[in-house]
Amino acid sequence: MKKGIFIAFEGIDGSGKSTQIQLLNEKMKEKGIRCYQTCEPSGGPLGSLTRQILTGRIKTDNRVIAAMFAADRLDHLLNDVDGIAAKVENGISVITDRYYFSSYAYHSVDVPMDWVIKTNEESAKVLRPDLNIFIDIDADTAMERITKNRFHTELFEKKSRLEKVRENYLKAFDLLGGEENILIVDGTKTPEEIGNEIWKHVEPILER
């Protein structure tokens, strides 16, 4: 059986990932492709625990935080109920809102990036995205979008942090560009323009 494809969307908060995921999902469904949409932190029990870090409900060491996101990621891949590795194996294409590059970018604000990469090594072995799509916007634009549409800002949604996170994404792409398929798109273009550019890169992967 032909495997599904695995696409990971990346970007700082408010970069337009949800918007583009919806557009890509619609296009894939139009083409009759079986498609599963998901996100990280996952909807599973480890994901809900991890979300309590984002709200400030759980406070712990930054290395523990990074390890919790990594554990949730492995569960997201491998659990028996809705693990995405089995879905891809069984011909279902999976689109995820965030994957391990989010960990490399967000956690290496506080802990060394090579440690975060090592902590996620098993996920990279189990399932590497056919394409990592980074929607690039600057922290000012992100802050404008976030504060316009949300009534509260979570722990990570602070401008100076987002600036560092964006820099870390670019650093991680430099470091891992040899082994990862990465598409960087200009997130300040219109949603339609961004969607078309993404489709130009996803369609050939589907035809492989």
Say how far apart CA 54 and CA 72 lie, in whole Å.
14
Contact between 69 and ligand TYD per CB under 6 A: yes
Contact with ligand ADP (CB under 6 A) among 4, 8, 10, 13: 13
The binder of 16, among ligand TYD, ligand ADP, none, by C-beta within 5 to 8 A per type, is: ligand ADP
151, 190, 207, 208: which one contacts ligand ADP (CB under 6 A)? 190
| Residue 40 interacting with ligand TYD (CB under 6 A) | yes
Range in contact with ligand TYD (rule: CB under 6 A) among 24-32, 77-85, 96-104, 134-142: 96-104
Q: Which of 16, 47, 83, 129 binds ligand ADP (CB under 6 A)?
A: 16
Q: Does 42 bind ligand TYD (CB under 6 A)?
A: no
Least distance between ligand TYD and beta carbon 7 (Å):
15
Length of the chain: 208
CB 19 within 8 A of CB 190: no
| Partner from ligand TYD, ligand ADP, none contacting 103, C-beta within 5 to 8 A by type | ligand TYD
Least separation in angstroms between CB 70 and ligand ADP: 21
Name the one range near ligand TYD by CB under 6 A: 19-27, 102-110, 172-180, 181-189: 102-110
CB 94 within 8 A of CB 4: yes
- HEC profile of the chain: CCCCCEEEEECCCCCCHHHHHHHHHHHHHHCCCCEEEEECCCCCHHHHHHHHHHCCCCCCCHHHHHHHHHHHHHHHHHCCCCCHHHHHHCCCEEEEECCHHHHHHHHCCCCCHHHHHHHCHHHHHHCCCCEEEEEECCHHHHHHHHHHHCCCCCCCCCHHHHHHHHHHHHHHHHHHCCCCCEEEEECCCCHHHHHHHHHHHHHHHHHC
Least Å from the CB of residue 113 to ligand TYD: 13
- Tell me: does residue 156 bind ligand TYD (CB under 6 A): yes
Q: Quick check: 17 binds ligand ADP (CB under 6 A)?
A: yes
By the criterion CB under 6 A, which residues form the site for ligand TYD?
13, 17, 40-41, 54, 69, 97-98, 102-103, 106, 156
